[in-house]
Structure formats: C-alpha cells, structure tokens
Structure 1
Amino acid sequence: MEEAMPAAVQETHRDEKIWANSGDSHLMEPEDLWTARLPKRLADRAPRSERGEKYEILYIDGMQIDRQLNDFMDAMRPPGFKDLSIRLQDLDQEGVQNQLAFPSMGFWTCTIRDPELENAVARAWNDWAIEDVMGKQDRIFAPAIVPLRDIENAVAEAYRAAEMGFRALYFPCGIEDDRAWGLELWEPLWTAAEELGMPLCWHIGTGAQNVVYRGPGGAVVNYMETTYPGMRVITHLVAGGALDRHPDLKVLIAEGGAGWVPAIGDRMDEAYRQHGMFVRPRLSRLPSEIIRQQVYASFQHDISAVQVIEDTGYDNVLWGDDYPHLEGTYGHTQQTLHTIFDGVDLRIRDRVLRGTFEELFPAAVAA
C-alpha cells in the first residue's frame, strides 16, 4: 500500500479550480478618454490611435509611432476587455480573484515631453481609473500614473493619488540616462511613496523601443529585449542606494519573469565585493539583501519562477494573467496554473498565488 503524500505537496486534481490573484493585468482605456476630459488645446496632443487594416498609428504630442497591431488581434481578446461587468465574469471563469491592472494606452504618457500635457494626461487617466473602474467594483485596481517630467508634479500626483484611493504607483522601465532611476533627482518622489506606503510598480516593455532587432529570430529576441530594462531598473535602484535609503519601499517588476531576481542579487554582490574600492555609494546592506527584502517580480508562464523559490529562498514572486493582452492566459488560465503548480509545495503555491499579492497590496485586496 502506497503511503499518502505529505499534505504540503499533495497533487491538485486537474479538474479542481485553482484561484489566484494577478500581479499583472491591464485596463483598456476608452478611445475618448482624453478628448472627453481635457481642453482641446491639450486633448489634440494627448495619446490617440488610428487603425488601418495592417497597422495602428499612435499620435502623441506631435510624434507618430507605427505599430503592426490590426483588428484581428482585438477579435482574439477576452469578451470583457472593454466591458467591466463582462470582465468580472471572465475573472470568475478563469479563477482570478483580484487584479493589479496597469494602463494600456496610458503607457505612452512617458513619451510626452511637455510637462503640462504630461501632467494633464496622467491626472485624467487616474481620474478615469478611479471613477469608471475602481469606483464600480473591488476586485480590479490600478496603479496611478505618475507624471515624470517635473518632480514637483510627480510628488503632487502621488499624494493626490493616495487621497483618491490608489494603493500603488506605476513607472516605465525605459528612461534617459540623465534621469536614470538611481539618481538623486527622484529622492522627493521615493520619500513621498515611502511615507504613503505605496509600492512602486514598473512594467516591462515601457519607455523604450520594443523592436530593436530585425534579423533571424527577431520575434523572440525582441520579446527578450522587453525584459532586460526591468533588470536595469532594479540594478540602478539598488546600486544607486535609493532602496537602501528607503528601506520601507517595495518595488515590483511586472511581466518580466522572476527567476532572474536572486541571480542578479548574487551578481551585484560579486561586483560590490570584488570592485569595492570603486563602489559609491556604500550601502548598509549587501545588494542581495536589499533585493530579497524590497524587490518583487511577476510572471505568467515561467515554470522556473516557482522552481527557484525552494532552492534560493527568494519568494517575493507573484503570478499574473496579463489580461486582456495576447501574451496572457485567458482561455487557458486553469491549464496554465495546473501545469505550473501541480505537485508544488502548497506553502509556495499559496505564497505565489495569494500571499505575495496580499503582502504588497493589503488595502486593495477584496475580502
């Protein structure tokens, strides 16, 4: 007679629904979000798109960006991608309890160079997210967009967002070298976020070109290229001392996987130790300690993101469904969750699917 498996590693039946929180989802903004909320002199320069048969053209503050994103992709999106009530039904069907929902068109706010326009666009997006999304249900919540061209605007909007009910702040990964995330110019914003208890949430594939190579394997190469800037964000925040100076700040890198996080901690420790005579600033903790205490990461399909937890002890890991984007898990969420978590220690499964999310966003989790 076979012995029963320990309770902590019992197999999950394939027909058992696994419920999860998503640390990476998205909102789809209405097409008239900025034209309806901004004066015409600003609305005409706010982000908007025009779609043809093969390409989408984005217009932002006098710039034009062509993207190969045509109508058939919308036909493949989940039923509730623009309807909140249907979206909640999609969540029930897929087994998703709560979602941290990033912008979609709002991602382009960071490309605006005019501080007045950027501030107005960010504030309008935040007003819409509160009024039309977060104010109508309690399972989907968004991080507030922060205008970045003027630090006073950024700090003011962080405080306004907290008063409105936001529980996190969004940032793009890509940024100019003279405004890199580890520089002292961001100190007022980090101080405000730490005081407000608002996690800083970066999303990969934002703030820079996503198509950087057009040779063999380009589709995979470019997909990987969206991930590397998230690693740079953490490297700058840690090496530059920002997280060491603000030990209560929590940082999330969304959609970029999680297995790399403890690895770069080891790599940074090596640099800090072997090149110590050149290291400035000096830190009160090793880079790996700062990372383990303050850095979080979300993934969708990566089996390794869960596998590394047991061996490395790094468990600041969240799963995400990426709803309603095409790389997400809609339509096969349960299959994906069973593939990743069947046979996994239940303590690890609970941490990744619920506990880490609730630790980062305790006030935003629906009962």
Structure 2
Amino acid sequence: MDTHESHIPLIISVDDHTVEPAGVWQDRLPKKHLDAAPRIVRAPLKEMSFLGGRFKPVMGAPGDEGPVGDWWIYEDLRRPLTRLDTAVGYSRDEIRLEVITYEQMRPGSYDVERRLADMDVNHVQSAVCFPTFPRFCGQTFTEAGDRELALLCVRAYNDWMVEEWCGPAAGGRLIPLTLIPLWDAELAAQEVRRNAERGVRAVAFSEIPPHLGLPSVHTDAWDPFLAACAETGTVVAMHIGSSSRMPSTSADAPPAVGSTITFANCCFSMVDWLMSGKFEQFPGLKVMYAEGQIGWIPYILERADVVWEENRGWGGVADKVHRPPSETFPGHVYGCFFDDAFGLRNLDSIGVGNVLYETDYPHSDSTWPKSREVAEAQMGHLAPDVVERIVRGNAIDLLGLTADGLWRGPK
C-alpha cells in the first residue's frame, strides 16, 4: 500500500468497474444451458459506431478482414470488448473506440490480485465495481428471450461477484455490488435478501427504468424490491447509462456531446425519486448516483422546492410528498464524483454527508493512477475532516464497511 504522506486519506472508490473473466457464466451454469449462456469467442470486427448515444458493433465472420477482438455471445447478442471498457494505461490520445482482446487490456481489469496492485499505486484502499457485459444494471439479461436462463445468469454473476471478485483473496478491499432480475420485482426482492444475507449492501438499478420498457418509480410496481432494500440497508446504486440511453441531442451528435451531458439522466432521475413519495413510503431507502458528478445538485433542489411549494396543488405530488424535496434529499440521496471542482466549491449547498468519491477504473474517464493528485488539487481548500468524509467516511457509513474501510464479508 502506498504510504506517501498526503492531505488525502486512503480512497474508497464507489464507482469502479470489473471486466468479467470469460468463465463467469460457463463455470457456474448447469451444463444444459452452456451452449446458450454468455461465452467468449474471438472474431473480426466488421463495423462499429457510437453516435447519438447508441453503440452499434457488427461482428464479422471467421476469415473476414478487420481488427480482431474478443466478443461476448449470448442469444442474438454480439458484444465486443472495447478499449473504452478498459482504457487505463493508455494516453488520452491513444484511447479510441476499437475492439480488443483480453491480452490487450490491463490485467487489473479482470484479475483480483492485479486489481489490488493497481489500487495500491492509486492511493485506493477499497472499491465498488459495476459490471461490464451485463451492463450497468443487468440490462443484458433483462433484454434476453429466455427468462429462466436470464435469472440463472443474474444469480451466477452475483455468486461470482461475492465469492470470487470480492472473495477472500480481495481481503475486504473489493465491495460487492449485485444485480437483480429487473423484469420481476418479487424475484428482485428475493435476490436482494439472498445477497444481504451474505453481507451485500449495494444493488444496481436503472436511473430511468421506463427507458428499458419497465415501470417508473411513480408506480407501486417496484415496492417489493424497494421494501427489501430499505429493510436490509441495501443502497440502490444507479450508474450513468443504466437506462441504456445516454443523453444526446440528435442521432448524429458526436460522442463528445453526450460525454459533456452524461449527468443529465441522474438529474432527471433524482427529480423522479424526490417527487415519487418513495422515500416517505420507505424511510430506510437510500440511492446513489455513480459517475453523475455533483455540481448540478443545488439548483435542482432549489427548483424542486419551488415547484413543490408553488405547484403542488396541480402537480400531482401533494398527497405523497409531504415536505420540500431539499429536506428529503440529505437522508436518502448520494452523489458520486471524480472530477467536479465546481461542486466542491458549492459543497455547503449539497451537504458534506451526501457526497462520495470515485476513480472510475479502468474506464477512459478514470483518474487512475493520479486520483490522489486530482483529489488534492480539488479538495485542498477543504478541512481535513471534510475531505475524510468525502473520500471514505461517507462510503463507510453508507455501505456498512468496517471502521477501517473494508467489506465485512459474508455473515
């Protein structure tokens, strides 16, 4: 572990990512499902685009010309590993939308021992990791045709996450984040409770479920799931893009447009939750927004309060939202950031207890291996106790970690 004296305590990152090893599902599912279960093949790329927030890769046939990469095959899905999945170790100018193989990525992307080593050089003690192939909240399995197999895939991923990725070799430094079968709230509640029994305190969810063809949080459809989360102290973690629709302005807008406004879905989602009445219905419920940054939060709270005060008579919320949204926010909503100097200058308007830090390893936006230096540059004006809460203390409280910042492991 890096022991360099620093204004920044050892970081607990609440938004990193794992690139799943090829055997996650092949090693865990019944033999009868293996031909249909997710598996890796090596194949050429025919064409690939990422415009208007839509990622469209086309796999070539064996023998075709084109760059060769490793592809996940699952039902009709053909999804390649790309440089954007794992960009750390490359200069910004070298990071392009291209297919890659496992051998062409940094081993810390998928190997526990190498991940811990990369965390050491980045002043990171512990990390929560979102998925790659399942997508940020398991949309891949939600879109599948065979729901029986999809449920087995969700459970297999969770078993791998808890038992291997966050298993004994991680020494409590990798904090589990599990998936649910989004298509069935009762099954989702069962999965939350199954994982809570083995010490899991975070579950992935979509920031805007209707974009996935699912009910909104304004209905009672999610109540079994939300009740399970509230009762077990499981935080609902929503990553940008977990609605499978990244913000954009047009079908031909370049990725730079969407990258600039990635926070927008988090913004819309937070308003949904604050106006849904779910925090009143489930007082123990907590949600967090991964990679959404925090600078936008003060104005949205201000605007939500104005609407609640002036328009609630006809705004459809008077019977379920009983106090100004800004008063509900502190006990229920957490913003996560890795590069937001503006938000840090306005911390008093957000709340020190509602801000979490992240490094986004191994994505192209990651601050690895200079997360400490970035934090020092942006937090140098803050008191040490405030910095401690942002980079680790709030995460310890929210995720039920030990006082030393480690996952407690299965009960």
Tell me which residue corresponds to 1:240. Answer: 276
Where in structure 1 are there 5+ consecutive unaligned residues? 1-13
Relative to structure 1, is the Cα distance of residues 69 and 58 closer, same or farther in structure 2, using a 3 angstrom cutoff?
farther
2:108 to 60, 63, 80: 80
Partner of 1:9: none
Q: Give the structure 1 partner of residue 11 of structure 2.
A: 20
Q: Would the aligned equivalents of 1:257 and 1:302 in 2 still touch at CA under 8 Å? A: yes
Q: Give the structure with the higher percent helix.
A: 1
| Alignment-derived partner of residue 303 in structure 2 | 267
Pair 1:109-2:141 in alignment: yes
- Aligned-pair CA distance for 1:343: 2.7
Paired residues for 1:150-161 under 5 Å: 150-161=184-195
Please name the residue that 2:62 is paired with: none
Per the normalisation by structure 2, the TM-score is: 0.78
In structure 2, the partner of 1:6 is none
Distance 1:266 1:74 in 2: 49
The answer for the alignment partner of 2:76 in structure 1 is 62
The letter for the 2-side match of 1:304 is F
Deviation for aligned residue 1:292: 2.1
- Measured in 2, the distance between the counterparts of 1:174 and 1:44 equals 32
- Write the letter of the residue equivalent to 2:157: W
Distance, in Å, in 1 between the alignment partners of 2:31 and 2:389 is: 48
- 8 Å contact 2:70–2:101 — kept in the other structure? no
Aligned residues: 352
Task: Name structure 2 gaps, 5 residues minimum.
Answer: 45-66, 83-96
Q: Is residue 252 of structure 1 aligned with residue 288 of structure 2?
A: yes
Work out whether 1:29 is the aligned partner of 2:57: no
Partner of 2:390: 352
Equivalent residue, structure 2, for 1:118 = 150
| Paired residues of 2:298 and 2:349 also in contact (CA < 8 A) | no
Q: 1:175 aligns with which of 181, 200, 209?
A: 209
Query: Structure 1 residues 221 and 48 mapped into 2: Cα distance closer, same or farther (>3 Å)?
Result: farther
Q: Structure 2: how far apart are the matches of 1:34 and 1:26?
A: 18
Indicate if the aligned counterparts of 1:94 and 1:333 stay in contact, CA closer than 8 A: yes
Name the CA distance, whole Å, in 1 between partners of 2:350 and 2:180.
Answer: 34
Aligned counterpart for 2:361 among listed residues 290, 310, 323: 323
Say whether 1:164 aligns with 2:198: yes
Letter in 1 for 2:336: S
Distance change (3 Å), C-alpha of 1:222 and 1:57: farther
Query: Using the alignment, how far apart are the partners of 2:143 and 2:245 within structure 1?
Result: 11
C-alpha separation in 2, matches of 1:125 and 1:252: 21
Corresponding residue SS for 2:237: strand
**How far does the alpha carbon of each residue in 1:339-362 deviate from its partner, in whole angstroms, 9 at most, with x for none?**
212232223211211121112012
Is the partner of 1:71 in helix, strand or coil?
coil
Pairing partner for 1:187 from 218, 223, 231 = 223
CA distance in structure 2 between the aligned counterparts of 1:97 and 1:338, rounded to whole angstroms = 16
Q: Structure 2 vs 1, CA of residues 240 and 32 (structure 1 numbering), >3 Å: closer, same or farther?
A: same
Q: C-alpha separation between the residues in 2 aligned to 1:289 and 1:112? A: 40
Distance 2:278 2:20 in 1: 33
Would you say the 8 A contact 1:243–1:249 is kept in 2?
yes
RMSD: 2.7
Please report how far the alpha carbon of residue 287 of structure 1 lies from its aligned counterpart in structure 2 after TM superposition: 1.3
Q: Any idea what SS the aligned residue of 1:105 has?
A: coil
CA change 1:311–1:265 in 2 (3 A) is closer
Distance 2:103 2:297 in 1: 33
1:227 and 2:263 correspond: yes
Code of the residue aligned with 1:118 in structure 2: it is A
- Which one-letter code corresponds to 2:76 in the other structure? G
Q: Is 131-140 or 312-321 further displaced after alignment? A: 312-321
Paired AA for residue 99 in structure 2: N
Identity %: 27
How far apart are 1:363 and its partner, in Å?
A: 3.2
